[in-house]
Amino acid sequence: MTKRKFAMEQDQMACNNGRTWKREHLLGKGGFGSVYLAKLKRPESKSQIYPPVMAVKSAELSESSSLQQEKEVFNNIYGCPFILQCYGEETTSTGIVRANLIERSDARGLPESDVRRYTRCILEGIRYIHSRGYVHCDLKPENVLLVSTENGDFVPKIADFGLAKKVVKKRKVADSTAGGTTMYMAPETVVDNVQDFPCDIWALGCIVFEMFTGSPLWYDSDTTSDELIKSIGDRHQLPEIPYDIPEDGRAFLKKCLVKNPMFRLTADMLLNEPFVSGLRDDKCSDIAENSVEGQRRSCDSSRSKDLDFISKEDYTASSVPYGRLLRVVRTQGRQFKQPARVC
């Protein structure tokens, strides 16, 4: 038996399973838990609430407060086809976690048609999150999963609500606990610890840029974290975008990557931008309705019923993640080289 095979078997034995599902290999690991592929132990029945294949996010009991908060957020935003569905939670024994890095390759972007469609879907998800009164606070390619559909396409779904915050009316979310990933943080977050709806729009701009180019907006191998924070917070330093990006794509980015959050467009406004508005009644909605989660839903503002709690600590979320958007962005498409300022 090889060392690798032995280690994999040890991992599987060390991780207890749920009552109706079996935990399989590790999909990814973050600061607030690890995500595993899970399959049903028994054949699916008509009364079965779980899909045949799921993702299970786990954390140790002593470190599970983030998951409990995330489950609460899921309960309040349930019902949008561009947001991962949460099916419940369950307590299991603590398991051994093996880290697994997302594969990276040369900087490459996605085809323009995919960028438009993915942007539209992500934007629909953001609009729904904001309509429920939440800010995601950690939007980035790693937190967008591509889920397979019945017709062979993929639909992006927003995941990982561990840092999501409820926005209090007429009051900005500003405190010492402001978190997220620096490279995708808005200027007002790095300068004043403010996290409000416009922060997610800035992050969307960063994601769209990366989908087009395959490289992060602020990426420079020689830049330190302090220099990165200074660049993002500098009111006069603006990022650059390639001339090769279509004109309506550049216009869309300009309206996302506005330093002053007061002048950043909302998700509702951006959905009317030419870059994505043509997809309103097109492929995007059809793909979402045929995703493997199997439920035909729409991103309306009506309240969906709360999910039932199975237990505490582990929650079972979503359907079949094809892969994180970051992996696909950096292994497909074309390369852009010519820069142009956003403004």
| Catalytic choice (138, 153, 160, 314) | 138
Q: What is the Cα Rg of the chain in Å?
A: 20
- Give the span between the Cα atoms of 255 and 215, in whole angstroms: 20
Q: Domain 82-295, what architecture?
A: Orthogonal Bundle (1.10)
Is the model's pTM score more than 0.75? Answer: no
Lowest mean pLDDT across 49-53, 300-304, 309-313: 309-313
Most confident among 20-34, 155-169, 250-264 (mean pLDDT): 250-264
Most confident among 7-21, 108-122, 124-138, 218-232 (mean pLDDT): 124-138
Mean pLDDT score, 65-88: 65
At 225, is the pLDDT very low, low, confident or very high (cuts 50, 70, 90)? confident
Give yes or no for residue 279 having a pLDDT over 50: yes
At 330, is the pLDDT very low, low, confident or very high (cuts 50, 70, 90)? low
Of 315 and 75, which is predicted with more confidence? Answer: 75
Q: What is the pLDDT of residue 321?
A: 38
Q: What is the pLDDT of residue 109?
A: 77
Lowest mean pLDDT across 13-27, 112-126, 157-171, 224-238: 13-27
Q: List the domain boundaries for the chain.
A: 82-295
Q: What is the pLDDT of residue 287?
A: 53
Of 156 and 100, which is predicted with more confidence? Answer: 156
What CA–CA distances, in Å, run from 184 to 27, 33, 99, 104? 22, 20, 23, 18
As a whole number, the mean pLDDT across the chain is: 69
Q: For residue 246, count CB atoms less than 10 angstroms from its CB and return exposed for 0-12, middle for 13-18, buried for 19 or more.
A: middle
Give yes or no for residue 93 having a pLDDT over 50: no
> How many residues in total does the chain contain?
343
At 298, is the pLDDT very low, low, confident or very high (cuts 50, 70, 90)? low
- Say whether 282 is catalytic: no
165 is in an annotated binding site: no
Q: Label residues 314-342 b or e (16+ Cβ within 10 Å = b).
A: bbbbbbbbbbbbbbbbbeebeebeeeeeb
Kindly write down the DSSP assignment for every residue of 14-32, as one continuous string: HS---SSEEEEEEEEEETT
Tell me the three state secondary structure of residue 45. Answer: coil
